[in-house]
Amino acid sequence: MVTLSADRARYDRATAHLDAPLAIVDLEAFDANAADLVRRAAGKPIRVASKSVRCRALLERALRLDGFQGIMSFTLAESLWLARAGFDDILLAYPSADRAGYAELAADPKLAAAVTVLLDDPAQLDLVDGARAGGGEEIRVCLELDTALHLLGGRVRIGARRSPLRTPDALAAFAELVQRRPGFRVVGLMAYEGHVAGVGDSIPGRPLRSRMIQVMQNRARAELAQRRSETVRALRRVVDLEFVNGGGTGSVESTVAEDAITEVAAGSGLYVPRLFDNYRSFQGRPAALFAQPVVRRPGVGVVAVLGGGYPASARPGPTARPSPTCRRGCATTRRRARARCRPRCWARPRTTC
Ligand SMILES: Cc1ncc(COP(=O)(O)O)c(C=O)c1O
């Protein structure tokens, strides 16, 4: 997607006094994207994923809107920082080995009430207890379900390796173990289908690949919907679940369509990085861009920009590279931006998480 020239002119005017490198967020586009996420969530609350936004003021902006509720955070230190800043519903969506952080959490009733940590292994209970240093607060716990799609009797696995807990029985057994342990309470379940939410199903110039992704995702959605609902049923027999979280920007519609789901996570859909150019289900407005200074013109139609920009946290390679959005036809080569832009080259990140 090429940024409209009117937008580029607006960004140039707004930042004329600044030297690149610089990054901007177009608040008009951000708000439009937020409204579209709320529409897609069809009445279920959106938990905003902080690692995709990485800006507290913008987390606050999203949470002021009807339809957003709570934060999905990335580290324990960040969760405590957010809780101290007044956020009161924080789901730490990744296991942590931060012993000092657990000691703080267990010692402070306000922090312990605001932050829910993610556990999926009995060893993590020992780690938390070993870190308590006398802190007796009850730790709120979210369990994670492995969402990967298994094919050919498990010989092929599609999806990130996250939780070791895959079956309703395994989740229920782990929930009972946590409940029996003094000082812990299971309050939620999270199941993030990254192979659906984070993989575009309409890749320009790749119809066959797009079709294969669509078939895989249909299969994954159906398999997960059933397993997620059975898991929630099994868990509700042993614990009181406050929430069942799933999905991400790319899967909002299909995730919220499941009865078992009480909330959906989304973050990068507020910025709409390049990844989301390849989705059939929605179109957003690029809201996060950065500019690198153009320092050389080694040849006709070729410029060199200084610095690497905003690489994606994905596997390194061409797909993680940001893409210039200056003009139609503008692209990066291995080391140069091919463009007529000057004195700076605007680009969009590939992903923001
Ligand atoms: C657990 C979890 N849920 C949801 C998301 C989706 O985030 P986004 O909407 O930014 O794609 C992520 C992204 O990495 C995640 O790790």
The reply to whether 276 falls in a domain is: no
> 47 and 8 in one domain?
no
Whose alpha carbon is nearest atom 15 of ligand 1? Answer: 192
The reply to whether 275 falls in a domain is: no
Tokens of 158: 């599609």
The 10 Å Cβ neighbour count of residue 293 is: 16
Last residue of a domain, one of 211, 240, 270: 270
Tokens of 29: 């586009």
The reply to whether 14 falls in a domain is: yes
Calpha distance 321→312 (Å, rounded): 7
Residue 253 near residue 281 (C-beta atoms within 8 A): yes
The reply to whether 6 falls in a domain is: yes
CA of 268 to the centre of ligand 1 (A): 8
**Strand ranges (E), the chain:** 22-25, 46-49, 68-73, 90-92, 115-119, 139-144, 149-151, 156-158, 184-191, 243-246, 263-266, 288-299, 302-305, 323-324, 331-332, 337-338, 344-348
> 328 and 183 in one domain?
no
Write down the pLDDT at residue 52: 95
Q: Does residue 175 have a pLDDT over 80?
A: yes
Full domain range(s) for residue 156: 27-270
pLDDT digits (tens, 9 = 90+) for 244-293: 999 999 999 999 999 999 999 999 999 999 889 999 988 999 999 999 89
> 138 and 91 in one domain?
yes
Whose alpha carbon is nearest atom 9 of ligand 1? Answer: 266
Calpha distance 183→160 (Å, rounded): 31
> 264 and 291 in one domain?
no
> 89 and 104 in one domain?
yes
> 240 and 174 in one domain?
yes
**Ligand 1 close to Cβ of residue 266 (< 6 A):** yes
Instruction: Give the ligand 1 atom nearest the CA of 352.
Output: 10
Q: Does residue 194 have a pLDDT over 60?
A: yes
Q: What is the pTM of this model?
A: 0.90
Q: 129: burial class by Cβ within 10 Å (0-12, 13-18, 19+)?
A: middle
> 162 and 111 in one domain?
yes
Instruction: Give the ligand 1 atom nearest the CA of 94.
Output: 1
Q: Does residue 65 have a pLDDT over 60?
A: yes
Calpha distance 347→327 (Å, rounded): 10
Tokens of 255: 């995730």
Average pLDDT of the residues of the chain: 91
**Ligand 1 close to Cβ of residue 267 (< 6 A):** yes
**Ligand 1 close to Cβ of residue 268 (< 6 A):** yes
Instruction: Give the ligand 1 atom nearest the CA of 269.
Output: 9
Q: Is 82 helix (H, G, I), strand (E, B) or coil?
A: helix
Last residue of a domain, one of 204, 236, 270: 270
CA of 46 to the centre of ligand 1 (A): 11
> 195 and 111 in one domain?
yes
**Ligand 1 close to Cβ of residue 49 (< 6 A):** yes
What angle do helix axes 27-41 and 56-63 make, rounded to 10 degrees?
50
**Ligand 1 close to Cβ of residue 192 (< 6 A):** yes
The band of 311, judged by pLDDT with boundaries at 50, 70 and 90, is: low
Write down the pLDDT at residue 87: 96
> 61 and 12 in one domain?
no
Whose alpha carbon is nearest atom 12 of ligand 1? Answer: 248
Number of structural domains the chain divides into? 2
The reply to whether 294 falls in a domain is: yes
Instruction: Give the ligand 1 atom nearest the CA of 268.
Output: 10
Q: Is 72 helix (H, G, I), strand (E, B) or coil?
A: strand
**Ligand 1 close to Cβ of residue 265 (< 6 A):** yes
Q: Indicate the residue type of 133.
A: A
What angle do helix axes 122-131 and 99-107 make, rounded to 10 degrees?
70
Tokens of 147: 């969402």
> 201 and 247 in one domain?
yes
The phi and psi torsions of 21 (rounded to 5 degrees) equal -75, 145
Q: Pick 183 or 5 by higher pLDDT.
A: 183
* CATH number of the domain that residue 161 is part of: 3.20.20.10
The reply to whether 229 falls in a domain is: yes
Residue with tokens 């200074």: 293
Last residue of a domain, one of 270, 294, 317: 270
The reply to whether 281 falls in a domain is: no
Q: What is the mean predicted confidence (pLDDT) over 42-66?
A: 97
The phi and psi torsions of 192 (rounded to 5 degrees) equal -100, 115
> 301 and 225 in one domain?
no
Chain centroid to Cα 116, Å, comes to 17
Write down the pLDDT at residue 2: 47
Q: Where are the alpha helices (DSSP H) in 237-271?
A: 252-256
CA of 248 to the centre of ligand 1 (A): 5
Least confident of 73-82, 120-129, 320-329: 320-329
Calpha distance 215→30 (Å, rounded): 31
**Ligand 1 close to Cβ of residue 249 (< 6 A):** yes
Calpha distance 128→142 (Å, rounded): 14
Q: Is 29 helix (H, G, I), strand (E, B) or coil?
A: helix
CA of 25 to the centre of ligand 1 (A): 20
CA nearest neighbour of 103 among 134, 73, 62: 134
Tokens of 206: 């790749």
The residues, any chain, with a CB within 8 Å of residue 99's CB and separated by 6 or more, are 127, 130, 131
Q: Does residue 96 have a pLDDT over 80?
A: yes
The band of 318, judged by pLDDT with boundaries at 50, 70 and 90, is: low
pLDDT digits (tens, 9 = 90+) for 117-150: 999 999 999 999 999 999 999 999 999 999 999 9
The phi and psi torsions of 349 (rounded to 5 degrees) equal -65, 155
Q: Does residue 307 have a pLDDT over 90?
A: no
Any bridge partners for residue 289, and if so which? 24
> 253 and 339 in one domain?
no
Q: Does residue 338 have a pLDDT over 60?
A: no
For 114-133, give the DSSP string.
Answer: HEEEEE-SHHHHHHHHHH-T
The reply to whether 280 falls in a domain is: no
